[in-house]
Amino acid sequence: MKNICYMISILVLGFLLVMVCLLKSCQSQNGGEETAAIEVASGTNGDYIKWVDFNITYDALSTAYNLDVESYDSPVHLNWIELLAYAGAKSGGSFEKGSVSLIEKLASELSAGETTMEELTKDMDYYEYYYEAYEAVLGGMVGEYEIEQEDENGGKSWKKVYGLKAFSPIAKGFEYSDYDDFGSSRSYGYKRQHLGHDMMGQIGTPIIAIESGYVEALGWNQYGGWRIGIRSFDGKRYYYYAHLRQNFPYALDLKEGSVVTAGDVIGYMGHTGYSSKENTNNIETVHLHWGLQLIFDESQKEGNNEIWIDCYALTRFLYKNRSLTEKNTETKEWFRCFQMKDPAVEEYQQNKS
């Protein structure tokens, strides 16, 4: 009997070793891509992505973004999402130390006219997947827009620019602390993962709309307290801002259906939540919880198929663009100092009317 058990154990171990070798071989043939992380399902509007591991580092985001902006008026305008998707397809989305060098080398070859993205990616496994995934995360963050700037006489004038038109969720001049806490455990209500990013600060800190969009949810949630949900105009991103201030959580004119422009003040930091009773402070630490949900198919909006990504590196990146605010002493509200004209807002409003 012992001999039979021993032989069965050897066979099982051998099978597992063969499977590991086959998996490594597949990854090696695909440039090290972690194919197991790529899931696609069939939906009402065709195939859609089921899962995204967003592991792009701050350095890779910054490098690709700078190359995009610097080449805007050049014969070859580099697309930062294409650069990142190429690096992601090459590394299986891991973005290790060599990713920045790979992006810079690719940009140099494209700028010199030595090759094109079409030529480089026509036979590349999973490039289209990574492009669609990263475009879903970053698609509304860079482009043309107009913004007010202070002129030499202390007045304001409009300037048309190209660059980062998404903002940090914390207003300029308000300090905060944070760390990468995505995936850590939560116990209130039921055992679950932390599917967002916490930014600790002071009560009443103005909370800023990261991207232009429309308010899809507004009100009390026993987990998030007073919270706001803003959907991007293309429908792919759902921004979730939670634990807002007791008694005065939102900008006074904000309601479901409101259109907001990136950089607008939408609410105020607090520590509400963890209670079925509205307007309760049951969170120990004052902070903003913000999360980014990706939606490739409406079936993913709520339920077991939701896709939330790690926003730590993205939060660092958005620090490049912080909205300066000023306080109305009568209403106690904060407002942005410099207005912005986002073409995405104008297009949405025209299509809606």
CATH code 3.90.1150.10 for 151-352: no
Q: 199-229 pLDDT, tens per residue?
A: 999 999 999 999 999 999 999 999 999 999 9
- Is the Cβ–Cβ distance between 308 and 195 less than 8 Å? yes
The amino acid present at 120, given as its one-letter code, is: L
* Residue 290 pLDDT > 80: yes
- Is the Cβ–Cβ distance between 290 and 300 less than 8 Å? no
Cα–Cα distance, 260 to 251 (Å, whole number) = 11
Which residues, in sequence order, are bridge partners of residue 214?
A: 231, 259
Q: Report pTM.
A: 0.86
The pLDDT value recorded for residue 96 is: 83
Q: 145-193 pLDDT, tens per residue?
A: 999 999 888 899 999 999 999 999 999 999 999 988 776 766 655 555 7
Cα–Cα distance, 70 to 272 (Å, whole number) = 43
The pLDDT value recorded for residue 26 is: 36
Cα–Cα distance, 41 to 234 (Å, whole number) = 20
Backbone phi, psi, residue 205, to 5°: -60, 130
Domain with CATH 2.70.70.10 in the chain: 151-352
pLDDT confidence band for 28 (50 / 70 / 90): very low
- Is the Cβ–Cβ distance between 274 and 249 less than 8 Å? no
**% helix, strand, coil for the chain, step of 5:** 30, 25, 45
- Is the Cβ–Cβ distance between 333 and 251 less than 8 Å? yes
